[in-house]
Chains A and B, each alone.
Chain A
Amino acid sequence: MVTTPQAVVRSLLPLAVAVGVAVGLELLLGLLGFYAQKILFDIGVNIILAVSLNMVNGFTGQFSIGHAGFMALGAYGSIVVTYYGGYALFGDVMMHSTVTGYALYFVSILVGGVVAAGAGLLVGLPSLRLRGDYLAIVTLGFGEIIRVVLQVSQPVLEPSEMAAVPWYEQPWHLGRSLGFVHSGSYNTLGWTWTAVAVTLLVAYRLRESTHGRAFLSIRENEIAAESIGVNTTRYKVNAFVLAAFFAGVAGSLFGHQLGAGTASRPEEFNFMKSFEVIIMVVLGGMGSISGAAVAAVALTLLTEALRSFQDYRMISYSLLLVIVMILRPQGLFGTHEIWHLLARFRRKGTR
């Protein structure tokens, strides 16, 4: 294997650009109002959710409708790290601008992702034997089980109580249905959009690779995929684990949102949240990475715009969903990426 230093640098160029953008946003942070920041957070988190769900639903053609459950695990997993870890390290839950402080948050995001990925493995395993609707209902059920389990956890420990509880029992003190109260607000636009960049990069590179084609072959024809040597079981589980990991990361970011010092309640991660992500993936086009991302942006903005028309928002979404399914079943972009469609459009224009 020949790996020239230049090749490594070149291959990381898109990521460097994306992180640059994230750092730029981070610097802009002070200039943006709270509302603009909040929307940019929401957009980022939703892009990660939609693009990751697309790995299961769009790439492999399996049908998962319990994405919010993985997100919940990510949120709670990472909050446990920053809350109990923060008290152990600093004696509070504030974000500390030191190497240790950043490292703590970084580790918490990873923990959130890994906890969710572990759950993804658990859901992926029954999926080996189930197809279509059955799998859908199991994933949904799994999300609900996670929500219910969070609701029967123990109350969050106050700093004064922590010494009395051994560290390995602390992660079970998640605040019952009240949610994880007093979690810290660590997240910034830089963190969020770096995560967005990594998610997009991984999704895109994977799909364009030989492994990505293996994913797609399962969606297209499972029997033929097996016949050419694709271990469909393994790839389905891989897709679940990967998607769950990024959903967990999105949950970690969501759980540490600016001003979210209040709570992440289990109720926020019920199946309605999962449905919202599905709507994004379906509208964008199953299998289209940019489609899912664009739909995530559009629906987040639309939700904000329609905030004063709450009652009509879900009515219009659901109608939109049904109409798209009947008139354009492949979603707005189908399996294509935006730049494919733009290129085609430009060709037509010049002719």
Chain B
Amino acid sequence: MAALLDVKGVSLSFGGLKAVADFSLSLAEGSLTGLIGPNGAGKTTLFNLLTGVYQPDVGEILLGGQRLNGKRPYQIAAAGAARTFQNIRLFGDLTVLDNVRVACHLRATRGMWAAVLRTAGYRNEEAAIALRAMRLLELFGLAAAAGKQAKSLPYGQQRRLEIARALATEPRLLLLDEPAAGMNPQEKGKLRELIARVRDEFKVTILLIEHDMSLVMQVCERIAVVDHGVKIAEGTPGEIQKDAKVIAAYLGTAESGAAAE
């Protein structure tokens, strides 16, 4: 399979601090990869680089062969990469449905004049958007809450809504930043099934930052480990669990890393 995402020797420093150093990663189309590492290892910084929030000092990022360097976040979203945020960033005052509908905007083609004049084409498009948004909400078990304000949802549902919103942009690459944070074991179980289902149904490639080791080990096919901005290991869950460097990075055993979560 061809690589969908190709990160080639990317580095970024803040002042004197090297946040990401000579980082390379290649994700095959349709793969599900975990990105793990201790707190402050540079995982979220890497997501910010991939989505254009930061620009790399050196190195190259390719999505489906298209260079992402120098692109702004909205252009990268248009190129097919969507993300969720570690600290949830929903549109709190909008309804749950509108949170998803606004993300459908990216693929909408009718202009402002059409919206003001309410042309038939525009109305057809709006109807299609509403339908697609509701389907996504159903898939994520949020249909009943469609009319509620997003900020009124419980934490776990907010995390799921963020994933639904990201999917509404019709991405090829989905970046999930700690989707299980703050969830109870039951919710985590459901989330695990959901992630696998999303990958199969939407044919997206997924890169997942997660501290919950059991989740990562169960759901991911491959895992990359970052420490101090450097990729120290990459391989299957089985290989990673046995990797000496990884164990050292997590101060002792892999179990203590999981327990720290």
Contact = CB atoms under 8 A, between A and B. Distances in A.
A224 B106 contact: no
Contact of A209 (B83, B126, B169): B126
Nearest to B118: A11
Contacts of B93: 216, 220, 335
Interface string B80-101: 0011010001111110001001
A228 B120 CA distance: 26
A224 B74 contact: no
A229 B112 contact: no
A214 interface: yes
Interface in B115-168: 115-126, 129, 165-166, 168
Contacts of A209: 112, 115-116, 122, 126
Counting chain A CB atoms within 10 Å of each CB, the highest count among B106, B121, B125, B129 belongs to B106
Interface residues of B, number: 44
B91 A227 contact: no
Contact of B115 (A1, A210, A217): A210
A211 interface: yes
Contacts of A155: none
A29 interface: no
B204 interface: no
A211 B115 contact: yes
B54 to A, nearest CB: 12
Given A3-B121, A213-B98, A217-B94, A228 B112 contact: no
A7 B117 CA distance: 11
A7 B123 CA distance: 10
B108 interface: yes
A213 B115 contact: no
B235 interface: no
Contacts, number: 119
A212 interface: yes
Interface of B is mostly: helix
Interface of A is mostly: helix
Counting chain B CB atoms within 10 Å of each CB, the highest count among A2, A205, A206, A224 belongs to A224
A262 interface: no
A4 B98 contact: no
Interface string A17-32: 0000000000000000
Contacts of B129: 210
A318 interface: no
A210 B100 CA distance: 11
A232 interface: yes
A4 B105 contact: no
Given A216-B91, A220-B92, A226 B112 contact: no
Contacts of B203: none
Contacts of B98: 213, 216
Interface string B235-257: 00000000000000000000000
The 8 closest A-B pairs by CB, nearest first: A229-B106, A229-B77, A209-B115, A220-B91, A1-B121, A226-B73, A224-B89, A213-B102
22 contacts: A2-B124, A4-B120, A7-B123, A205-B115, A209-B112, A209-B116, A209-B122, A210-B125, A210-B129, A212-B115, A216-B91, A220-B91, A223-B73, A223-B85, A224-B89, A225-B102, A226-B77, A227-B51, A227-B74, A227-B83, A228-B165, A229-B74
Interface of A: 1-4, 7-8, 11, 201-202, 205-206, 209-214, 216-217, 220-221, 223-232, 238, 335
Interface of B: 51, 53, 72-74, 77-78, 82-83, 85, 89-94, 98, 101-106, 108, 110-112, 115-126, 129, 165-166, 168-169
